Each structure stands twice: as C-alpha cells, then as structure tokens.
Amino acid sequence: LFGLPDQAPHERVLLAADPQTGLKAILAVHSTARGPAFGGCRFWTYDNELAALNDALRLSQGMSLKNALAQLPFGGGKAVIIKPAGHFDRPALFAAFGRAVQSLDGAYITAEDVGTTTADMLGMQAHTQYVSGIPRAGAFGGDPSPKTAYGVFVSIDEGVKRVLGRSSLDGVRVALQGLGAVGWHLAEYLHKAGAKLVVTDVDAAKVQRAQEQFGAVAVATSDILAADVDVLAPCALGAVLNQQSIASLKARLIAGAANNQLATAADGDALHARGITYLPDYLVNAGGIISVAREFRNEGEEQAVMTEVGLIRGRVAELLERVRASGATPAREADAWARSLLVKPAA
Ligand code: NAI
C-alpha cells in the first residue's frame, strides 16, 4: 500500500466508520504539495473493502495529477463511501461523512462524484466547511458537469485540428459512450459545432433523446468502442481502453470525461503504437474541479470559470507539442508533466 510501482505514496488515508448510520468511508489524501487535497466523493457498491480502498487510492492520485496540470492551488484527494447493503438514512450518512471530512481540518475538501449529488453536498454543509459543488441562489456554483463537458469539448476541438488536420468539427464523426451529466452537455456542444454523433447509453431514453435532438446514430453499448468514427469520447466508465478494445478501435483521437480510461499504463503505449492519439482523461476532464475549486475560493463568476476551463485547450496544444519533441506517448508525457508540477505553486 505504501509504494505501488510508479506511484508517489499517499500522505494520509482515513478510514471513517460510523455504526449508527452505517458509514464506511475512505478519505485518501494523496498530495498536499500544491495546497489542500481537493477531489470528489464517490458513493458506490464495492465487492469488498479492499476494492474500495484501491479505488480511493487510485482516484486520489489521479486528482493530484489533474489539479497540478490544471494549475490549481490544490493537491489531490478523493473519498469513497461504500454504499450500505440494506436500508440507510442518506442525510444521516452524509452528515457522518461530513464530520469525517471536518476531522481532517481542511487537509481534504470534498465535492460531488459518481453517486453523489448537489443535495448531498448541501446537507453536509452543516457539518463541514470543506465542501463544494453547492448551488447558490443568484450566484455561480453547483453541478460541475457542464464545465467538465466544455473542457472535453475544447480538447476534442483542438485535437481534431492538430491531430486529424481538420479545420473544424464540421462533419467530424464522434462516438460518445455515455449520455449522462457530462456526455449530454458534450453532445450538445459537438452537435452545435457540426459534428456527426454516434451514441450509446444503457439508458434507452437518453439515446432516443439524442437521436431526436442531435440526429445522432445509436449503436449497441457493445459496439461503441469499435464504431467507425474519427473521435472516441468515453464518458461513462473507466478502464474502457484495454488490450481487448484497443485492437478494434477505428477512431484516431480519443478524448472523453471518464476517469481512468486506460486499464493499464501499457494500454497507453498500445494506443500510441496503433497511431491513435489519446488525450489523457485527467487533462481534458478538469473543467469540473476548476469549477468547484473557484466556487470554494469564492471566485465564482460564470464567465471567469468558463474562461479558465477554456485554458485546457492550450494545455492540450502544449502536450501535443511536448509529445512531438520527446517522442513519448501522450499518457506518459502528461504524467511526467503533472508530476513535475506536484510542488507548491508560485504565489
Ligand atoms: P453520469 O452517471 O451522469 O453519466 C454516466 C452515463 O453513462 C449514464 O447515462 C449511464 O447510463 C451511462 N452508462 C453507464 N454504463 C454504461 C455502459 N456500459 N455503456 C454506455 N453507457 C453507460 O456521470 P457523469 O457525471 O456524466 O460522468 C461521466 C464520467 O466522467 C464518469 O466516469 C465520471 O467519473 C467522469 N467525470 C465526471 C465529472 C463531472 O463533472 N461530472 C468530472 C470529471 C470526470
């Protein structure tokens, strides 16, 4: 646990249990080199506690890299709550989680992630000041998904120009896996820019809406990764880029919101060997954390946030330049770049 190959060890991991509410949570602080560890809280069913711990450790390290590349004055952390098997009182459970967050005295700041909602964050406010992603009447804040989608959109746009040599997204075919909070907004941006969408989701109603609103072509969930498209945007699950899927990919560019898209580091090399450019997830999907970080610092103003999220475009361009100069894969180059930034930012 204290030194997985290739990984910086975690600074601090808290196991928080509250028998009254059934809370079992892991709060993982990977790095505070840049500032307090900032990252969302996942509420999920796990096969066992070790799997939950592993998820928290992996995700929190990813947040260190994401926050560093996004040049935020925050380190990386993440929390995982193991979903109780039977009946539970959700507000009470999140109140207990809020107290656990508070016990870290600001070393970790939480927000939404898979399985948690703005309502959960709102309820936690009574128990900790270290929570973000909260809607406020008449002010900026709340759901970070649209900002994440915008960051992925500018990344795809930049990648299409630099990698595919196209002048715009007009007529570019994009496969979208997952039409959830991020995927739907991304589909809207892409459609407006003239892209042709191929979509899938386990929720048939979302697929039908995308067909109606965007003229999207629907495919089975099992067919999306191998769809005959220019760009693949994974916006549902992690580890979708693996030994099995990579062999059948037709897209030349991959950029999507899903965290941990590469099953292993070697899969990044395999993509590169096949001439497929993978824009690392934690570079392109930083829009959400940029949003909640600004909200937390009370520097929220819609346009300023969108401008900051838009800076992801320049980072994509810089990564592609770095890759050209070094010959390394984008995944390994981004990793080295992010790790070099795991230091206190200049004031
Ligand atoms: P979501 O839960 O709203 O959407 C996920 C969508 O994927 C749902 O519509 C679901 O039905 C669909 N889906 C699930 N399994 C599928 C499968 N096998 N095939 C096709 N579709 C499937 O989640 P959200 O917020 O849109 O996030 C999507 C991904 O982006 C997640 O991996 C998340 O960790 C990541 N992410 C989200 C951020 C945010 O701001 N919401 C920020 C950074 C990363």
Domain residue ranges in the chain: 12-124, 145-285+315-332
Comparing CA positions, the residue from 285, 251, 256 lying closest to residue 172 is: 251
Domain 12-124 and domain 145-285+315-332, same fold? Reply is yes
175 lines ligand 1 (CB under 6 A): no
The CA 343 to ligand 1 mean position distance, Å, reads 31
Q: Is the CB of 110 under 6 A from ligand 1?
A: no
Which atom of ligand 1 has the smallest separation from the CA of 256?
A: 30
180 C-beta closer than 6 A to ligand 1 = yes
pLDDT band at 262 (very low <50, low <70, confident <90, very high): very high
Name the residue at shortest CA distance from atom 12 of ligand 1: 178
At residue 6, the pLDDT reads 57
Mean pLDDT of 288-292: 94
CB 156, CB 255: distance < 8 Å: yes
Choose which residue among 225, 237, 262 to substitute to test ligand 1 binding: the one with the highest number of ligand atoms within 8 A of its C-beta: 237
Please report the pLDDT score of residue 7 as a whole number: 64
What is the 258 CA–ligand 1 centroid distance (Å)? 6
CA–centroid distance, residue 42 to ligand 1 (Å):
12
Location of structure tokens 């993509």:
271
Provide long-range contacts, Cβ within 8 A and 24+ apart, for 265-273. 265/6, 265/331, 265/332, 267/241, 267/242, 267/243, 268/241, 268/329, 268/330, 268/331, 268/332, 269/329, 269/331, 269/332, 270/243, 270/246, 271/241, 271/246, 271/329, 271/331, 272/329, 272/330, 272/331
pLDDT of residue 32: 97
The Å distance, Cα 3 to ligand 1 centre, comes to 30
Q: Note the pLDDT tens digit of each residue in 80-112.
A: 999 999 999 999 999 999 999 999 999 999 999
Could you tell me the distance, in angstroms and rounded to a whole number, from the CA of residue 215 to the centre of ligand 1? 21
Buried/exposed 66-92: b ≥16 CB within 10 Å, e otherwise: bbbbbebebbbbbbbbbbeeeeeeeee
Taking phi over 0 as left and psi of -120 to 50 as alpha, with beta for the rest, 139 belongs to beta
Of the pLDDT bands very low, low, confident and very high (cuts 50, 70, 90), residue 3 is: low
291 lines ligand 1 (CB under 6 A): no
Could you tell me if the ipTM is greater than 0.95? yes
N- to C-terminal Cα separation, the chain: 33
Which residue's CA is the closest to the ligand 1 atom numbered 32?
258
User: CA–CA separation, 211 vs 204, rounded Å?
Assistant: 11
- Name which residue sits closest to atom 41 of ligand 1, judged by CA: 145
The reply to whether ligand 1 has any atom less than 6 angstroms from the CB of 81 is no
pLDDT at 277: 98
pTM of the model: 0.94
> Tell me, what's the pLDDT at 47?
96
pLDDT at 344 (0 to 100): 86
As assigned by CATH, the class of the 12-124 domain is alpha beta
Architecture of the domain made up of 145-285+315-332: 3-Layer(aba) Sandwich (3.40)
* Nearest atom of ligand 1 to the alpha carbon of 234: 29
**Looking at 3-7, 18-22, 207-211, 240-244, which range is the least confident one?**
3-7
Catalytic residues: 78
Q: Are 39 and 289 in contact (CB under 8 A)?
A: yes
State how far the Cα of 33 lies from the Cα of 36, in Å rounded to an integer: 8
CB–CB of 62/285 below 8 Å? no
Model confidence at 174: pLDDT above 80: yes
Give yes or no for residue 202 CB within 6 A of ligand 1: yes
